[in-house]
Structure 1
Amino acid sequence: MSAELDLAARVVELTRRLAGPGAEAEVVAAHSAEALTRFANSAIHQNVADATTTVRLRLHLDGRTAGGSTTVTDAAGLQSLVERTIAASRLSPPDQAWPGLTPPTPLRESPAFDEATAAAGPHERAARVRDFVRAADGLETAGFCRTTYSSGGFANTAGQAVEGRAAEAAMDGIARLAGADGVARRASSRLTDLDGTALGTRAAAKARAGGRPIELSPGRYEVVLEPTAVADILDNLATFGFNGKAFAQHQSFAELGAQQFDQAVTIRDEPLGATLPFDQEGTPRGTLTLVQQGTTTAVSHDRTSAAEAGATSTGHAGAASRSWGPIASNLALAPGRDAITPVTGEGPTAASARALVSGMRRGLLITDFWYTRVLDQKSLVITGLTRNGVWLVEDGEVTAAVGNMRFTQSYPQALGPGAVLGVGTEIETLPDRWTGVRYTAPALHLQSWNLTGNASG
């Protein structure tokens, strides 16, 4: 038994003793360790590390629900947590939507855990930063390399008891030349998968190709989106579209069984190996197919949204999922199945997008999206900015850099039936900017993207 599962089990027993036999309680004890190496002006300027163990208790007592947490894990700290949560439950309103506890359920098998990533120190991260900076060959660089390790245990009064651990490594860097930025990022469960030289080379090539941008008129453009931009689409689809609470309350575009996307689109949530193998309610995680060849087949649920929708939990409960909804946070867009001969040569185009660019008569190659915000949740209309490189493509060739532009676009509409002209055959696993969440995506060739103005006005 892990230390975290032992903590969770102790709190469950303490709750039984103090709250009585009628109490329903669930406890998550999680240890999280993150280490981060930041660099700017082509030099490391910060190494930071943080490790915290947090115990969360959710208690349903006499028809009322309350929760509490603590990072004080000695006997006095745990007793205080239970006493505070019992007191809070007595002051809480009746909880008519309480879905009950997860019954004893075995975990699904997870990929092998990488001990070296969990134990990595600043020297291993610094080596990748060094390689990135050297590969940029004199360009100004900035970014980070991080490693994270998490382990956790869950127990409840219904008898569910599970434990697990996960590790992640990520690198995100830019190279800059005369105001033009190029970006490269990658995530993996193994630090050894991160190649600082390859990432630095890509970022520098983009920066060198981004000089002297032209300005284009607003309008609808055919586009190739690189995986870094596709990750933003997956993020917003997961947060607002495939969110089980939004679906149950009719605030989502999702219609189960409907052909809402192009047949080339298959989207799955693949959490195993990327996060703990169970959610905050102790429900085992596993692969969830959200879209199968264009047909919406599922949304993500915790126990509350599942009960409201007449479904079952998909293992997506979070600390705030009853308020904000359950979110699938490790989405993967399946790559194209047809082999395409890649275009050779250097330039701003990542290998995952080269073949798609070669098939575009006139349009834009877009590297990244930034500062995206929802304008209408039901149709998932998003506004945001392009970033880190946009290029005009004519007859399959990149002909000019383009200044950043604002867009206003319904994401489901852009991926709708007949709107996807191609899906890249190579995938990239990309880190979220702030957390251990990651997205796996190929490049996308889309028929239309609504560019509504230049970034300057």
Structure 2
Amino acid sequence: MKNLSQEETKRICDKVLSLTKADQCEVNLSGSRTGNIRYARNAVSTAGLIEDTQLAVSVAFGKKQGVATINELDDKSLEKAVRRAEDLARLAPENPEFMPTPGKQQYKASETFFQKTADIDPEFRAQVAAYSIENSKKNKLVAAGFFTDTSKFTAIANSNGVFGFQRDTGVDFTVTVRTEDGRGSGWAKRSVGDAALFDAREASDVAIEKALRSVEAKALEPGRYTVVLEPAATSDILVYMFNDFDARQADEGRSFLSKKGGGNRMGEKLFDEQVNVWTDPWDKNVAVLPWDNNSMLAREHQDIIKNGKINAMNYSMYWAKKQGKRAIGAPGNIIMAGTNKSTEELIANTKKGVLVTRTWYIRMVDPQSVLLTGLTRDGTFYIENGKIKHPIKNFRFNESPVSMLNNIDELGKPEILSGDESEYQLLIPAMRVRDFNFTSLSDAV
């Protein structure tokens, strides 16, 4: 099914709202067209195109709620979904934290749609895989990768007059390249909204170079080291902390932002002064929908961490009312300030340290301190006198992003990423960090 226009989605949403007999109604209508190609062992294994459209209708009688979803949009199916949601609401127990659907919102459009991405075809996808495979073969390497391109629309509406519509696009690519004997491995990841910013050759060449350089890795004694973390390695650690910026979790004593004796640590300096983090739906690099799909509240620019101090937290509608605060839409992106310095420049300024390409298999150890454990992989190198001296075997680490952001020596240039454990779009810099805690060696490459 083709992606619907604003006029088409408005007609469908209005039809649903006119059918309900409930006290309130919310409609979320979305559709996507996603192409993909996957390859492994230097050969394409799958390729395809997935199209999907879904409508969710949520109704409430008093504090009793019901939700129904469908993927058929004819009038008969719409009415059937509304009646099902109403039947479920009547049967449901009252929700003690029920909040009325919000009043009319002002949604300032963000630039999330790029025609070049929407125009991607099978030939484009094939070329992405072909270059990666052919160049890997030339270097006697084995490549595996996954490329997806998505074009979608989202529309929201409620019985209080809210309506929003927006289209967006995105490209995601990951590639792993290994030596034939499995002793060397390189990896790269790219996530952008505009395909004009995507270079499959560049990404594959990075993975290929790291695979070639990571052969004959030497063991380095575990311990605390200065590390240069590439943006992908940094982001997969930091998302665990960013997910904790919820005021309710903090107020109830369930996060690192909880204060002993009750309340939260708003306004406290918890990080190095170089740390500045914000959210901005309209950022040209990582633009996102100007509303929060869960609450229908408009998003705003917010300074989350300012000069190392906690400056903002997320308040749901229920918790905002309970605490006497103002609720706004939850962030859709996280942006961290950096510099114009490349990762190579951070390496050049390092006397002794470890370069980490990627962090992986990360798990929470202690939520109160955000202590994490995980592994390095796909290219870990020893730095000496500003140069990469040789590859080293991978480590297991035990580290907290809170400690990391207190031990920053230098920040690099931010890159666009999608966090594996987060729904955020991310713009995160490389960084050089002191005293990163490597606890043991890993046999993985």
TM-score normalized by the length of structure 1: 0.87
Return closer, same or farther for 1:244/1:7 CA change in 2, 3 Å cut-off: farther
TM-score (normalizing by structure 2): 0.89
* Deviation sequence 1:228-267 (CA, Å, 0-9, x none): 111212321222x223442343322232211111111112
**What residue is the counterpart of 1:267 in the other structure?**
277
How far does residue 309 in structure 1 lie from its aligned partner after superposition? 4.3
Aligned to 1:257: 267
CA distance in 1, matches of 2:13, 2:422: 24
Question: What is the deviation of 1:100?
Answer: 1.8
Q: 1:383 Cα deviation (Å)?
A: 1.0
Instruction: Choose from 408, 411, 415 the match for 1:423.
Output: 411
Q: Is the 8 A contact 1:167 1:274 kept in 2?
A: no
Deviations 1:107-155 (A, max 9, x none): 1231262122123211112222223334444321111221111211111
Deviates more, 1:70-79 or 1:243-252: 243-252
Give the letter for the 2:416 counterpart. T
Assess if the C-alpha contact under 8 Å between 1:150 and 1:276 holds in 2: no
Note closer, same or farther for the CA distance 1:412–1:329 as it changes in structure 2 (3 Å cut): farther
- Looking at structure 1, the residues matched to 324 and 146 of structure 2 have their Cα atoms a distance apart, in angstroms, of 44
Q: In structure 2, what is the equivalent of residue 360 of structure 1? A: 350
1:248 and 1:308 in contact (8 A); partners too: no
The corresponding residue for 2:13 is: 8
**CA contact 1:165–1:277 (8 Å) conserved in 2:** no
Structure 1 residues 278 and 371: CA distance shift in structure 2, 3 A: same
Alpha-carbon distance in structure 1 between the residues aligned to 2:323 and 2:32? 33
Amino acid at match of 1:8: C
Q: Percent same amino acid among aligned pairs?
A: 25
Residues 135, 197 of structure 1: 8 Å contact kept: no
* Residue-pair matches, total: 424
Cα gap change, 1:6/1:233 in structure 2, threshold over 3 Å: closer, same or farther?
farther
Q: Is the 8 A contact 2:233 2:356 kept in 1?
A: yes
> Could you tell me how far 1:65 is from its partner in structure 2?
2.4
Give the structure 2 partner of residue 303 of structure 1. Answer: 317
Q: Counterparts of 2:44 and 2:169 in 1: how far apart (Å)?
A: 23
1:398-455: CA deviation from partner (whole Å, max 9, x where unpaired): 1221112111111112112xx110000x222123459985322221111121111122
Q: Equivalents in 2 of 1:81, 1:54: separation in Å?
A: 11
Residue type of the alignment partner of 1:407: F
What letter corresponds to residue 174 of structure 1 in structure 2? T
Q: Which residue is equivalent to 2:260?
A: none
Q: Equivalent residue for 1:210?
A: 214
Q: 1:150 to 1:301 in 2, by over 3 A?
A: farther
SS of alignment partner, residue 52 of structure 1: strand
Letter in 1 for 2:213: A
Equivalent residue for 1:452, pick from 421, 439, 442: 439
**Aligned counterpart, 1:163:** 165
Partner Cα distance (1:390, 1:370) in 2:
12
Match of 1:414 in 2: 404
CA contact (8 A) 2:396 2:438 kept: yes
Structure 2 unaligned runs (5+)?
1-5, 258-264
Asked if 1:385 corresponds to 2:375, the answer is yes
Residues 152, 164 of structure 1: 8 Å contact kept: yes
1:97 CA displacement: 1.6
Structure-to-structure mapping, 1:205-354, within 5 angstroms: 205-239=209-243, 241-254=244-257, 255-272=265-282, 274-280=287-293, 281-316=295-330, 328-336=331-339, 352-354=342-344
Residue 67 of structure 1, CA deviation: 2.3
Is the CA contact 1:153–1:161 (under 8 Å) kept in the aligned structure 2?
yes
Contact in 2 for aligned 1:405/1:453 (Cα 8 Å): yes
Task: Name the residue aligned to 1:398.
Answer: 388
Q: Is the 8 A contact 1:5 1:29 kept in 2?
A: no
| Larger mean Cα displacement after TM superposition, 255-264 or 59-68 | 59-68
- d(CA) in 1 for partners of 2:250, 2:400: 17
Residues 1:152 and 1:390: Cα distance change in structure 2 (over 3 Å): same
Cα offsets for 1:167-220 (capped at 9, x unmatched): 111221121113221111211111121111111111111111111112222221
The alpha-carbon distance between structure 1 residues 436 and 98, as it changes in their structure 2 partners (threshold 3 A), is: closer
SS at match of 1:124: helix
Q: Which residue of the partner structure matches residue 325 of structure 1?
A: none
**Aligned counterpart, 2:3:** none
Structure 2 residue matching 1:442: 3-state secondary structure: strand
Asked if structure 1 preserves the Cα contact closer than 8 Å seen for 2:419 and 2:426, the reply is: yes
Residue of structure 2 equivalent to 1:345: none
- Asked if the contact 1:59–1:89 (Cα under 8 Å) also holds between the matched residues in 2, the reply is yes
- The 1:435/1:380 distance shift into structure 2, 3 A limit, reads closer
